[in-house]
Structure 1
Amino acid sequence: MLTSGFVLGAAAHGGLNLGDIVFQLLMFIILLALLKKFAWGPLMGIMQQREEHIANEIEAAEQSRAESNKLLEEQRSLLKEARTDAQGLIESAKKQGDVQREEIISLARTEAERIKEAAKIEIEQQKEKAVAAIRQQVASLSVLIASKVIEKELSAEDQEKLINEYIQEAGEER
C-alpha cells in the first residue's frame, strides 16, 4: 500500500507519474506509427507525384520551347529561301523582258525593212507603169504623126526632123 499511497499522494500533489508518462509515450509512438502509415506515407507519395508532375511539365515546356525554336529557324530559312526565289523570279522576268524587248525591236526593224522594200517595189512598178504609159503615148503620137505624114507627103529630111522632135518631146515629158 505504500506504493499505491505514493501514487495517490503524488497524484494529489501534482507530481509526475511514471505510469502516465510511459502510457503517454506509448500512445505517442502508436500515434506516430499510425500517422506514418496512414497520413505521412500517402502525403509523401502525393508530394513525390506532384514533384514528378512538375518536373515532367518543365521538361515538356523545354521540349516545346526547343521545338518552337526549331520551327522558328525553319520558318526563317523558308522565308529566306522564298525571298531568294522571289528575287530570282524578278531577275528572270527582267531578263525575259529585255529579251522580248530586243525581239520586238528586231521584228519592228525587219517589218520596217519589209515595208521599205515593198515601197521600193511599188515605186518601181509605178515607174514601169509610167514608162509603159509614155510608150503608149509615144505609140499614139507615132500613129498621129504617121497619119499626118500620110496626109502630107514629107521628104526624108522632114521625116527625120519630125522624129527627132518627137523623141525630144517624149524625153522632156518623162
Structure 2
Amino acid sequence: MHFVWSSLVVTIIAFLILYWLLSRYAFGPLFSVMEKRRELVKQQMDEAALTRSQAAQYVEDQKAALQQARKDAQDIIEQSRQTSNRQAEQLITQAKEETTRLKEEAAREIESEKNKAVAALRSEIGAVSVQIASKVLEREVDAKAQDQLVDNYLKEVGIRQ
C-alpha cells in the first residue's frame, strides 16, 4: 500500500475546514437547541413535581376538611340530642307542676264545697231544731212520744229531699 502525503494533508485541511464550518454554523445552533430542549424538559419536570406536590397537598386539605365536616356534624347531632333532652325535661317538669297545681286547686275546691255543705247542713239543722222545738212546745210529750215525733219528722225531711 502506498501512502500519499499530499492526499493526507488535503484530507486533514478539508476535515479542519469542515469542522470549523460545522462548529461555527451547525454545532452552535444545534447545541443551543439541545440546551433549550434540555431546559424545557427540566422545567416541565419541575412543574410536574410542583403540580404533584400541590395535588397531594390539596388531597390532604380535602381529607382534613371532610374530617372537620364530620366532626361538626357529630357536634350538631350531639347538641340537638342535648337540646331535645333539656326540652323533654322541661316539659316533664311543667307537667308535674301543672299536676300539682291542679291537685291543690281541686283540694281547695273540695274544701270549699265541704265548707258550703257543712254551712248548709248547719243551716238546715238549725231550721230543723227550730221546727222540732216548736213541735215539742206545741205539746208536751214523754220520751216515747218524743222519739216518735223525731222519727216522723225525719221521715218528712226524707220525703222533701
User: Residue 46 of structure 1: CA displacement?
Assistant: 1.2
* Amino acid in structure 1 at the alignment position of 2:134: V
- The corresponding residue for 1:137 is 124
Which residue does 1:121 correspond to in 2?
108
The Cα shift of 1:45 comes to: 0.6
Q: Residues 57, 157 of structure 1: CA spacing in aligned structure 2 closer, same or farther, 3 A cutoff? A: farther
Q: Quote the Cα distance in structure 1 between the aligned partners of 2:97 and 2:6.
A: 131
> What TM-score, normalized by structure 2, do the two folds share?
0.71
> Which residues of structure 1 form unaligned runs of 5+?
1-16
User: Which piece of structure 1 moves more, 51-60 or 21-30?
Assistant: 21-30
Percent of paired sites with the same residue: 32
Choose from 134, 148, 158 the match for 1:149: 134
The offset of 1:47, in angstroms, is: 1.0
SS of residue in 1 equivalent to 2:138: coil
Measured at CA, do residues 157 and 40 of structure 1 come closer, stay the same or move farther in structure 2, by a change above 3 Å? farther
Q: Specify the structure having the higher radius of gyration (Cα).
A: 1
Equivalence for 2:33: 46
- Within 1, Cα distance between the matches of 2:139 and 2:19? 171
In structure 2, give the amino acid aligned to 1:106: T
Paired with 1:90 and 1:96, the residues of 2 have a C-alpha distance of 10
Per-residue CA deviation, residues 44-98 of structure 1 (Å, 9 max, x unaligned), is 1111111111111111111111121112112212211221222122223222222
Shift of 1:99: 2.4
**What code does the residue aligned with 2:91 have?**
I
Q: 1:69 aligns with which of 53, 56, 61?
A: 56
Counterpart Cα distance in 2 of 1:38 and 1:138 = 146
Q: Counterpart of 1:59?
A: 46
Matched residue type, 2:28: G
Q: CA deviation at 1:142?
A: 4.6
Once the two structures are TM-superposed, the CA of residue 129 in structure 1 deviates from its matched residue by 1.9
Residue correspondences, number: 149
TM-score by length of 1: 0.67
The 1-side partners of 2:39 and 2:150 are apart by 132
